[in-house]
Amino acid sequence: MTNLSNDLKNTDIKVQQFLARPHMHFINGAFVDSASDVRIDVIDPSTCAVIATIPSGTDTDVDRAVAAARAAFDHGPWRKLTPVERERRLLKLAELLETNANEFSQIESVNSGRTLFATRKFDVDLSVDYLRYTAGWCTKIEGRTMSPSVPYVPGGKFFAYSTREPLGVVAGVTPWNVPLGQAIWKIAPALASGCTIVLKPAEQTPLTALRFAELVMEADIPPGVVNIVTGLGRVAGAALVNHPGVDKISFTGSTETGVGIGEIAARTMKKVTLEMGGKSPVILLDDANLDLAIPGAAWAIYGNHGQNCCAGSRLFVPRKLFDRVVSGIADIAKSIRLGASLYPDTEMGPLISPAQKRRVLSFIESGVQQGAEILTGGGGPDHPGCYVNPSVLVNTRNNMAVVQEEIFGPVLVAIPYDGVDEVIEYANGTKYGLGASLWTANINKVLEISPRLQAGTVWINTHNVLDLAVPFGGVKFSGTGHELGEEAVMLHTRLKVNMISIA
């Protein structure tokens, strides 16, 4: 264990100044007061100390933000800019974020409890790259030409072409596990395609999005193109996704919330991308290189404290290798240094909130009550922060909640298996289908097993590797649509066809 409590005096003076500022909604190019005086505490989960407060946005705030985004889309300059001009603004945003990388990383670490390494790499650096990647797409949104035959118009001559038009106003709703990263995954493809956006960040982690709004002003993005309303999901979030002025909902969060949003989208004919929960299997085959697979499986679950949608939370190991693999992972779990996010020796920080800590511990407890055994972990240090020890559970059964439900914490269930058909059935045996990993030296086994896995991504000899150029999405109750890659940009456009009769 390293130091379990952050000392904010260890942060940059700019971070301390930002935290002390009054935080407001960002609407139509300016920070504005909320319609309500109610505020939400934002904490540092290493101590649960309040580090800032944000407005609890209301229907009225959401109305204002959507009206601003609507006006900016329908009448503003954003859509009229040439693709190269839009690209330049996105590149400017990337440059500004890069320049302020340390400040963003520190704010994110204090607020989300994740290490400076994690927030720097996954929130800041990946976002800088992703802004640049999507900037490149501005000039590459294209349709195609077609030569119709139209057999029922004898002698007719036709020419057809398609274009891709921006969808309009996007409602972006994001979770707390990679806060800035998730916000940029919503904002960047929306802007690249010519859309405008209202973002509702998670109430636990709204701070980097609000700091990013300041960069939006600096980068000369026209007013109303990016708007941010803070607040509770069931109030501000619900008002936003239900709003008739919204054309597309891009949601990342839990399956429960996502299913409700999917129903709203179906009823209102809004386009929708849903990135939801997971219970991703890590499957070791009998020829796996254990020197890679044991640490790989450990970090597949313990990376980001298990608060990863695609965390490798179910481990399947051939029975004859089970004891060796599981004791190797338990050794790694015991060696992980828990600590406050700002300390350089920390390998795993706290979970996001007291509620999340309670939820994770109650899952472990329910597993134990049903007969599971804690090989290592369970509980957490006696400290006000939201720490949970990295845990391994064995002796589980497939129908236990710890095996079926997303825990979203550092809890691995390890399960032995006897044959390939059996492990595929286990792997597919939850409602989720986000990621899966296969650990093997045999490409033929990859080619045989991967198509049988119900997962949006199958990693081979690795896990949790996401890249800006590679689309990411889930199947079953893990979601619909994709983020990242070309797909994310195109999912913010609609195809229009023009059919011309040639005289």
- For ligand NAD, the closer CB: 193 or 353: 353
Strand 158-166 relative to strand 145-146, pairing:
antiparallel
Q: Interface mask (CB under 6 A) for ligand NAD, residues 456-475, using x and -?
A: ------------------x-
Q: Is 385 in the site for ligand NAD (CB under 6 A)?
A: no
Candidates 390, 433, 479, 481: give the one binding ligand NAD (CB under 6 A): 479
Q: Is 384 in the site for ligand NAD (CB under 6 A)?
A: no
Q: Is 353 in the site for ligand NAD (CB under 6 A)?
A: no
Inter-residue contact 475 to 496 (CB < 8 Å)? no
Q: Is 279 in the site for ligand NAD (CB under 6 A)?
A: no
Query: Residues 394 to 413: which contact ligand NAD by CB under 6 A?
Result: 406, 408
Tell me if residue 138 is catalytic.
Answer: no
Neighbours of 422 (CB within 10 A): 11
Tell me if residue 309 is catalytic.
Answer: yes
- For ligand NAD, the closer CB: 311 or 375: 311
Number of residues that bind ligand NAD (CB under 6 A): 30
Q: Is 309 in the site for ligand NAD (CB under 6 A)?
A: yes
Strand 411-417 relative to strand 314-318, pairing:
parallel
**Closest alpha carbon to 474 in 492, 455, 458, 461:** 455
Q: Interface mask (CB under 6 A) for ligand NAD, residues 61-100, using x and -?
A: ----------------------------------------
The sign of the torsion formed by the CA atoms of 184, 189, 193, 199 equals negative
**Closest alpha carbon to 62 in 223, 221, 195, 238:** 238
Distance, in Å, from the CA atom of 357 to the CA atom of 362, rounded to the nearest integer, reads 8
Candidates 66, 241, 300, 375: give the one binding ligand NAD (CB under 6 A): 241
- For ligand NAD, the closer CB: 184 or 330: 184
**AA identity, residue 82:** T
Least Å from the CB of residue 355 to ligand NAD: 9
Beta bridge partners of residue 172, listed in sequence order:
199, 250
Least Å from the CB of residue 135 to ligand NAD: 22
Q: Is 260 in the site for ligand NAD (CB under 6 A)?
A: yes
The sign of the torsion formed by the CA atoms of 399, 401, 403, 404 equals positive
**AA identity, residue 295:** P
Strand 281-284 relative to strand 314-318, pairing:
parallel
H helices then E strands: how many in the chain? 17, 20
Which residue is catalytic, options 103, 108, 275, 483?
275
Q: Is 253 in the site for ligand NAD (CB under 6 A)?
A: yes
HEC secondary structure over 230-283: CCCHHHHHHHHHHCCCCCEEEEECCHHHHHHHHHHHHHHCCEEEEECCCCCEEE
Inter-residue contact 304 to 336 (CB < 8 Å)? no
Angstrom distances, CA of residue 277 to CA of 110, 187, 433, 473 = 25, 21, 9, 11
Candidates 6, 174, 304, 457: give the one binding ligand NAD (CB under 6 A): 174
Inter-residue contact 457 to 438 (CB < 8 Å)? no
- For ligand NAD, the closer CB: 175 or 194: 175
Q: In the complex, which residue's CB is closest to ligand NAD?
A: 233
Binding span for ligand NAD by CB under 6 A among 25-33, 248-256, 288-296, 298-306: 248-256
Q: Is 471 helix (H, G, I), strand (E, B) or coil?
A: coil
Q: Is 54 in the site for ligand NAD (CB under 6 A)?
A: no
Inter-residue contact 422 to 398 (CB < 8 Å)? no
Q: Is 175 in the site for ligand NAD (CB under 6 A)?
A: yes
Q: Is 108 in the site for ligand NAD (CB under 6 A)?
A: no
Q: Is 189 in the site for ligand NAD (CB under 6 A)?
A: no
Candidates 100, 127, 193, 252: give the one binding ligand NAD (CB under 6 A): 252
Binding span for ligand NAD by CB under 6 A among 2-10, 269-277, 340-348, 384-392: 269-277
SS3 breakdown of the chain: % helix, strand, coil, rounded to 5?
40, 20, 40
Q: Is 432 in the site for ligand NAD (CB under 6 A)?
A: no
Q: Is 52 in the site for ligand NAD (CB under 6 A)?
A: no
Distance, in Å, from the CA atom of 106 to the CA atom of 211, rounded to the nearest integer, reads 12
Which residue is catalytic, options 309, 386, 406, 483?
309
Query: Residues 196 to 235: which contact ligand NAD by CB under 6 A?
Result: 200, 202-203, 233-234
Q: Is 275 in the site for ligand NAD (CB under 6 A)?
A: yes
Catalytic machinery residues: 275, 309
Where do contacts with ligand NAD occur on this chain (CB under 6 A)? 173-177, 200, 202-203, 233-234, 237-238, 241, 252-254, 257, 260-261, 275-278, 309, 406, 408, 434, 474, 478-479
